Amino acid sequence: MALIHGGDTEGFYMEYGYEPLDFSSNCNPLGAPEGVKLSICLSAEKIDSYPDPLCRRLCAAIAEYEAVLPQHVLCGGGSADLIDRLAYARRPGKTIVTAPSFSEYERAVRNTGGEIIYHPLREEDGYAVKDDILNRLTPDVDMLFLCNPNNPTGLTIEPNLLNKILDSCIRADILLVVDECFNGFLDQPGEHTLKFRLKDSRNLFILKAFTKIYGMAGVRLGYCLSTNGELLDAMRNAGQPWAVSSLAQAAGLAALKEHNYIEETRQLIRSERAYLVNALEALGMKVFKSEANYIFFRTAIPELTGRLRSMDILIRDCSGYIGLSAGSYRTAVRTHKENVRLVNSLSACIKEI
């Protein structure tokens, strides 16, 4: 199996026998909250019982947290599981994805026989989604995926444009899938979500996850929001009934109570993102605007990932993304001590060439 995502710390460990400093995945640098860890330990007492296949307690808690109805929530084994279920349930034909963006959308659609149409994002626009995408939203399109903020660029879609896109999708009967998995890291997350329009449209489908914001990548827990009950029912039938373990459900319930942790995270990301942007620019990197917990940049340093790997640091080589070329990279924003180590290592790489 080809590893097309970051976070391959296991491969590093198998090669060197110790853990690297991982900037290649974009999880919360604070790690999972202690309350989440404790909930997993306590739930282990009941691992001899099957988990609730409907995740009823968790869906109710998510509904309260998101201010939606419980029947409009579906949980899964991470957002990737829900993307797969959506593709198998919907069986879309022509599907638009922006380029660059998260590769799982394309993989899931192609696996179900769908056709991918790329909407290129331009470097001269900072890889921002612009209103020219509205011209692509015609009745022959089945589905549109938008990542907001986008991965790997960390840039949000201007809210007014996002609403226009939804309006166009409603008129053309296109399912708009908005991936908000990194929304929680934004300074003003409420300004960049479409969840308040769920009640207006069955054409809107929102993806969320505990993976990144709560540092729970190993737990595998995500959810989606939609008022299209038929679609959610079809998604339930598109996968196994026990997709979310009892440990993951307990972790999710505990995570939703971690309000101070979320605010602490946003403060850390805000200050450390500014530090990293300034430091990378001072080293001569071309840094693109980011609003998330990761930074996209370009550099001519040859074999950068290999050089940093030899210094026990992983970053994400983005040259494999559709629409990007060699010299494109993404780094997570971590703690100040860790970010200083990355900057010093990048400086050492420059001195080597």
Inside any domain, residue 198:
yes
Q: State mean pLDDT over 237-251.
A: 97
Q: Which residues contact 266 (CB under 8 A, 6 or more apart)?
A: 184, 185, 186, 187
Which CA distances in Å does 49 have to 14, 39, 100, 255?
34, 16, 43, 22
CATH code of the domain in which 46 resides: 3.40.640.10
- Are 158 and 270 in a shared domain? no
Please, are residues 146 and 179 in contact by the beta-carbon 8 Å criterion?
A: yes
For the full predicted model, state whether its pTM sits above 0.95: yes
Q: Beta strands of the chain (E only): which ranges? A: 21-22, 73-76, 94-99, 115-120, 143-147, 175-179, 204-209, 222-225, 286-287, 294-298, 313-314, 316-317, 328-332
- Are 81 and 101 in a shared domain? yes
Which phi and psi angles does 91 have, rounded to 5°?
Answer: 50, 60
Inside any domain, residue 16:
yes
- Are 41 and 90 in a shared domain? yes
- Are 235 and 114 in a shared domain? yes
- Are 251 and 263 in a shared domain? no
Q: What is the pLDDT of residues 61-113, one digit of tens each?
A: 999 999 999 999 999 999 999 999 999 999 999 999 999 999 999 999 999 99
Q: What is the pLDDT of residues 16-49, one digit of tens each?
A: 999 999 999 999 999 999 999 999 999 999 999 9
Tokens describing residue 190: 């409420």
- Are 280 and 324 in a shared domain? yes
- Are 149 and 235 in a shared domain? yes
| Confidence at residue 1, expressed as pLDDT on a 0 to 100 scale | 58
- Are 192 and 131 in a shared domain? yes
Q: Which domain holds residue 217?
A: 34-255
- Are 104 and 165 in a shared domain? yes
Tell me how far apart the alpha carbons of residues 65 and 33 are, in angstroms, rounded to a whole number: 18
Inside any domain, residue 139:
yes
Inside any domain, residue 146:
yes
- Residue after which a domain boundary falls, among 236, 255, 274: 255
Inside any domain, residue 300:
yes
Closest C-alpha to 77, from 183, 178, 219, 177: 219
- Residue after which a domain boundary falls, among 222, 255, 288: 255
Inside any domain, residue 243:
yes
- Are 221 and 283 in a shared domain? no
Q: Are strands 115-120 and 175-179 parallel, antiparallel or unpaired?
A: unpaired
Q: What is the pLDDT of residues 208-236, one digit of tens each?
A: 999 999 999 999 999 999 999 999 999 99
| Number of C-beta neighbours around residue 61 at 10 A | 20
- Are 120 and 103 in a shared domain? yes
8-state DSSP, 247: H
CATH code of the domain in which 306 resides: 3.90.1150.10
| Confidence at residue 200, expressed as pLDDT on a 0 to 100 scale | 87
- Are 291 and 237 in a shared domain? no
Inside any domain, residue 46:
yes
Closest C-alpha to 24, from 295, 296, 277, 316: 316
- Residue after which a domain boundary falls, among 255, 289, 315: 255
Tell me how far apart the alpha carbons of residues 51 and 49 are, in angstroms, rounded to a whole number: 6
Please, are residues 346 and 283 in contact by the beta-carbon 8 Å criterion?
A: yes
Inside any domain, residue 4:
no
Computed on alpha carbons and rounded to an integer, the radius of gyration of the chain in Å comes to: 20
Report the number of distinct structural domains present in the chain: 2
| Confidence at residue 228, expressed as pLDDT on a 0 to 100 scale | 98
